[in-house]
Amino acid sequence: MTCRLHEDTETPSAHLAVPDDVQDAIRTLIRWAGDDPQREGLADTPARVARAWKEYCSGYDEVPALHLSRTFEEVGGYEELVLLKDIPFQSHCEHHMAPITGKASIAYLPNRRVVGISKLARVLHAFARQLQIQERLTAEVAECIWEHLQPQGVAVVIEAQHGCMTGRGVLTPGVRMVTSRLLGCFLEDDRSRKEVMSLMGY
């Protein structure tokens, strides 16, 4: 049996044509880092890296709000909290283009309308698949839901590790950064805020 390592999996970008100038830029980076971009193991790396980054940044091709365009009003009188907890995600920081890996909890208090729960995760991923900072990612997700669902309140908490801390610089693995954005009743009402944060585990 032959074992072939590091092959591209079949993704939407797997057969994407990569412009020469993009591949040249990656070859320049490899050369500057101290290796030979022409050696066998690196010969196809520029195209692979380019396609990978097109996938990492696929959020630029999405309009996150479109995931919230279909809502449901027949909810049997349900007017309580909706919470999607511990959604895993990956992003890349705009400062070092290093991975941001973590989880998000997204909650809202409906105002007559609800949305399919998978759509909350899709909104998160659409923003995460852009070059980001965690603070902005948290705010963008919360404000998108607030604007387009018009609920009574929105709460978003993101907890993540940053490759720019774990793999370079201060070299401190295991540190998690927590950010939150609260809007509406979760910001204004102490009881509502405590309830949603408790259910999220904070």
Is 93 tagged catalytic?
yes
CB atoms within 10 A of CB 56: 18
- Which tops the pLDDT comparison, 76 or 145? 145
Q: Is residue 1 predicted with pLDDT exceeding 70?
A: no
- From 38, 95, 135, 147, the catalytic residue: 95
Integer Cα distance of 19 and 46 in angstroms:
10
* Annotated catalytic residue within 144, 162, 185, 195: 162
Distance of CA 123 to the CA centre of its chain: 9
Which residue out of 96, 143, 150, 161 is catalytically annotated? 96
Residue 144: active-site member: no
Phi/psi of residue 89, nearest 5 degrees: -155, 160
Minimum mean pLDDT among 2-11, 14-23, 33-42: which range? 2-11
The pLDDT mean for the chain works out to 93
pTM: 0.90
For the question of residue 134 being annotated catalytic, the response is: yes
Beta bridge partners of 92: 99, 131
Q: How many residues does the chain have?
A: 202
Beta-strand pair 177-184/82-93: unpaired
Sign of the alpha-carbon torsion through 136, 64, 93, 91 = positive
What's the alpha-carbon Rg for the chain, to the nearest Å? 20
- The pLDDT value recorded for residue 11 is 62
The pLDDT score that the predictor gives to residue 12 is: 63
User: Which of 23, 130, 134, 152 is the catalytic position?
Assistant: 134
Annotation says 162 is catalytic? yes
Q: How far is Cα 116 from Cα 72, in angstroms, rounded to an integer?
A: 8
Task: Decide if 96 is catalytic.
Answer: yes
